[in-house]
Structure 1
Amino acid sequence: MAGIKSTDDILKRLTSLVSHARTNVPYYSNALAGIRDARLEELPILTRDILQTRSVDLLARMAPDRLLPGRAIRIETTSGSSGAPAHHFQTAQNAMIDAGLLLRLYRELKLPIAGQFFNLGLHRAGQPLLETRIVPGAYTYWNLRSAQNGGARVEYEVALASVRPTVIYGAASRLRELAEYVLNAHLAVRPKAVLSSYEQLSAATRGLLERTFRCPVRSVYGSTELGLCAWECEQGALHVQADQVIPEVVDDLGIPVPRGTPGRLVFTSLKSWLMPLVRYDTGDIAALRRESCTCGSTFPVLSPFEGRRAAYLYTHSGRPVSPYKIMSIVDRTGISRYQLVQREKGSAELILDCTDDAVDLCVCEAEISAFLGEEFRLYKNAGVPFIYTATGKLNPVLSFVATQDALLVAEETQ
């Protein structure tokens, strides 16, 4: 299994990156002014708000004329599912490093060097149904759209009538959509691996995917800005590829918390020098596990991974809580597909498929209330459409409470 080969090498790369950022990047020249030989945890946190509003200042200039570098640059734009989209500038070297990480994942899963790749992720406008890619192997990509943007059934029929997938990758809700289609069509689809990203993979959905496709199902973690960062091993532990992205878990003040304690997940990318990301706040909540993994990898493990801060639910008293314990309680009811939508503190709307309309939520409500230590109400709403992002992402939890509170504060200060 993979692991950190040389801590000294990573420290040297980090030192060089910070020195480069201080010298060549306007934002860091100002942010690090007066800070010399500081440890990583003493450097300022880079937030998505800064990335959104000061992207030009985060770009490296070339000495001596201090112009932007004259080389091939790609602009990647985030989905905006956690707010306004942000832009990240990348070079071909970034793409090569990410391709190397993808090859590492393929080798761990013992995937062949060629095959058919069913891509059920978030698609950009104009993306063709079929693409051929040679990195990390010669794969034909089938970019299958969701039912939310005009695809799904017809495209599933065309793809599965032509080939059988070697790898299936995509958002958890999209993977479930395909699995249900395969089951209803009585098809035998046996890929080498299923990779889930973008959305939290619930135990119920994981079980469905394992039963349907009869292959390893692994979560992968990454972002547009950071690229591929972590993936699950055969033991189900989410290992950060710490030779390329350095993880930290910090409190609200940016101070590192002890291992095993949940907090803000921040990464320093050793991949990006055109637009350095030093202590970049992902917007997610996680903890770094204390003990090592039995799989043999020495890479650090994110556990528990609690998902986005923006998805936190609020009790009646105003206490924010991670939604994933609540989701695990809902999962035990046997509900196959749902979305939790909170519009006021102390309660949430549970949007269900019509097939789950008969589920009694009384026991579920009582267990959630006992866990929280105060009453929490669930309101069942079957047959109402799920709420998707503009890019087709289905967030399992949506909370509008924090947004409402922010608006009230803004009104009070006017």
Structure 2
Amino acid sequence: MTQTVSDLPELGQWRGHEELTRLQDAQLEQLFGWAARSPFYQRRFGGTVPRTRADLTDLPLTSKQDLRDGYPFGLLAVPKQELATYHESSGTAGAPTASYYTERDWTDLAERYARKWVGIRADDVFLVRTPYALMITGHLAHRAARLHGATVVPGDNRSLAMPYSRVVRVLHDLEVTLTWSMPTETLIWAAAARLAGHHPGTDFPALRALFVGGEPLTPARRARISRIWGVPVVEEYGSTETGSLAGECPHGRLHFWADRAIPEIYRPEDGTVVAEGAGQLVVTPLYREAMPLLRYHLEDAVELSYRDCACGWNLPTIRVLGRSGFGYPVGNARISQQELETLVFELPAEYDVVFWRAKATTETLFVELEVAAEHSAPATAALTAAIRSRLGVDAYVAGLAPGTLVPHHALTATQDVVKPRSLFGPDEDWDKALLYY
């Protein structure tokens, strides 16, 4: 049976935490039934299928290693002919993990992603600038956009056929209204647009929002991106294994979709699992049929809170901090990218610093910024002082000419993409035989 959007919980269907909990509990029996068809959970259940939330919390966490050990179909809970898509994670934290979805699963996936406060409309032109490969990210946005009738521009950011010069042309000529990408992409587009003779804030009047995800985003960088493009930056959080897990409300807070998944927090310092607070995210998707995941340990560092929000969604808020334990020791401190990013994007906007890199050594932090010559001295001095006063470490900050870290030729080049062939003329380079380049 194909699931429809009307079969799923909708925002506003519950009035508080107690009603939300009852909504979750009502779906658990079906979820446990799906899980009982999976070879992995059959072994874990040991003949006794869970029935209640108490039973769920008695189960051990499902780890990423469990998914890797079950590759490719050890967690499959439906006949293979019922699958709609197969995916693998990017493998940023180790070997990739396999995931698969039915059409029924995809109804839930697409509707969750489409819960954007700015809305996705039939008159939108939606540029999807994330991978269209084994990861779910590009396919998810594409499916959600089509669910609402939008025109999709499949601008895969891993394709040779879509260089930055073409992205800028498409954004401008097709009058793109919405985009989906990593935050860093939007800054690169702005640089490419300027090199093409366009001003990001005025020459793309159709653009009404930038949807971003895939990397931690500090408020400082988010504000700079919004200022550059003159539109809201709407954040999204999820994974290939789960789809969208959280989205932003009109008040700028990221809310966990707790009507579709149960969140928990694992505290590595003492090994306990709690309902809220800071730690590593554990999630139980409630409408995952092809590959049920019970208490899946995502390992992302987050802060989860059930404090009220003016939006009235009555959903927990989540702050995503990135992969647990990521950072480097410098002196007596441990420096994270988020901390540095905040300081970089708190520099005065007129310095126009958006591209930077840093290297941590045991004693000193080395930072390089792309900055115009007239702003180099004040920008480097200001960042050096901020790092020393707020992070408590010594730093050497150098200003680099624009185009050093993000080369201008990479933003303006038009990639020569050809089809493979085997027959060449006497003056042609036959070393390109069979290759796409």
TM-score range, shorter chain: 0.7 to 0.9
In the TM superposition, 1:344-359 aligns within 5 A as 344-345=361-362, 347-353=364-370, 355=372, 358=377
Q: How many Å apart are 1:280 and its aligned residue?
A: 1.6
Q: Which of 326, 331, 339 is the equivalent residue of 2:345?
A: 331
Confirm whether residue 27 of structure 1 aligns to residue 40 of structure 2.
yes
Confirm whether residue 75 of structure 1 aligns to residue 93 of structure 2.
no
Contact kept in structure 2, 1:144 and 1:152, CA below 8 Å: no
Distance 1:364 1:307, change over 3 A: same
Distance 1:149 1:350, change over 3 A: farther
Contact kept in structure 2, 1:257 and 1:263, CA below 8 Å: no
Q: How many Å apart are 1:347 and its aligned residue?
A: 4.4
Contact kept in structure 1, 2:110 and 2:144, CA below 8 Å: no
In the TM superposition, 1:27-176 aligns within 5 A as 27-33=40-46, 38-56=54-72, 58-61=74-77, 68-105=79-116, 108-124=117-133, 135-144=146-155, 149=160, 151-160=162-171, 162-176=173-187
Q: Which of 8, 32, 39 is the equivalent residue of 1:18?
A: 32
Distance 1:132 1:139, change over 3 A: farther
Contact kept in structure 1, 2:168 and 2:192, CA below 8 Å: no
Alignment root-mean-square deviation, CA: 3.5
Q: How many Å apart are 1:229 and its aligned residue?
A: 1.4
Q: How many Å apart are 1:258 and its aligned residue?
A: 6.7
Map of 1:222 onto structure 2: 238
Q: How many Å apart are 1:76 and its aligned residue?
A: 0.9
Map of 1:411 onto structure 2: none
User: CA separation in 1, counterparts of 2:274 and 2:358?
Assistant: 30
Contact kept in structure 1, 2:113 and 2:144, CA below 8 Å: no
Q: Which runs of 5+ in 2 are unaligned?
A: 1-9, 407-437
User: CA separation in 2, counterparts of 1:173 and 1:142?
Assistant: 19
> Percent identity among equivalent residues?
22
Map of 1:406 onto structure 2: none
Listed one character per residue, the Cα deviations across residues 257-306 of structure 1 (whole Å, up to 9, x for unaligned) are 474x3210121111212211122222311111252111111011003x21
Q: How many Å apart are 1:201 and its aligned residue?
A: 2.6
Tell me the TM-score normalised to structure 2 length: 0.73
Contact kept in structure 1, 2:105 and 2:290, CA below 8 Å: no
User: CA separation in 2, counterparts of 1:86 and 1:307?
Assistant: 18
> What amino acid sits opposite 1:232 in the alignment?
E
Distance 1:331 1:161, change over 3 A: closer
Q: Which of 291, 303, 313 is the equivalent residue of 2:307?
A: 291
> What amino acid sits opposite 1:17 in the alignment?
L
Tell me the TM-score normalised to structure 1 length: 0.76
Q: Which runs of 5+ in 1 are unaligned?
A: 63-67, 387-414
Q: Which of 243, 248, 258 is the equivalent residue of 2:264?
A: 248
Q: How many Å apart are 1:17 and its aligned residue?
A: 1.7
Distance 1:157 1:361, change over 3 A: closer
Distance 1:145 1:69, change over 3 A: closer
After TM superposition, where is structure 1 displaced by more than 6 Å over at least 4 residues in a row? 131-134
Distance 1:224 1:73, change over 3 A: same
For residue 277 of structure 1, give the secondary structure of its aligned residue in structure 2.
Answer: coil
Map of 2:191 onto structure 1: 180
User: CA separation in 1, counterparts of 2:388 and 2:309?
Assistant: 33
Moved more, 90-99 or 334-343: 334-343
Contact kept in structure 2, 1:102 and 1:136, CA below 8 Å: no
User: CA separation in 2, counterparts of 1:212 and 1:241?
Assistant: 30
Q: How many Å apart are 1:341 and its aligned residue?
A: 4.7
Q: How many Å apart are 1:171 and its aligned residue?
A: 0.8
Distance 1:29 1:365, change over 3 A: farther
For residue 297 of structure 2, give the secondary structure of its aligned residue in structure 1.
Answer: strand
Listed one character per residue, the Cα deviations across residues 219-259 of structure 1 (whole Å, up to 9, x for unaligned) are 01111111111111111100111111222222015523474
Q: How many Å apart are 1:357 and its aligned residue?
A: 5.2
User: CA separation in 1, counterparts of 2:363 and 2:314?
Assistant: 41
Q: How many Å apart are 1:200 and its aligned residue?
A: 2.3
> What amino acid sits opposite 2:347 in the alignment?
T
Confirm whether residue 312 of structure 1 aligns to residue 304 of structure 2.
no
> What amino acid sits opposite 1:312 in the alignment?
G
Distance 1:203 1:30, change over 3 A: same
For residue 114 of structure 1, give the secondary structure of its aligned residue in structure 2.
Answer: coil
Q: Which of 358, 375, 386 is the equivalent residue of 2:393?
A: 375
Q: How many Å apart are 1:57 and its aligned residue?
A: 6.0
Distance 1:61 1:171, change over 3 A: closer
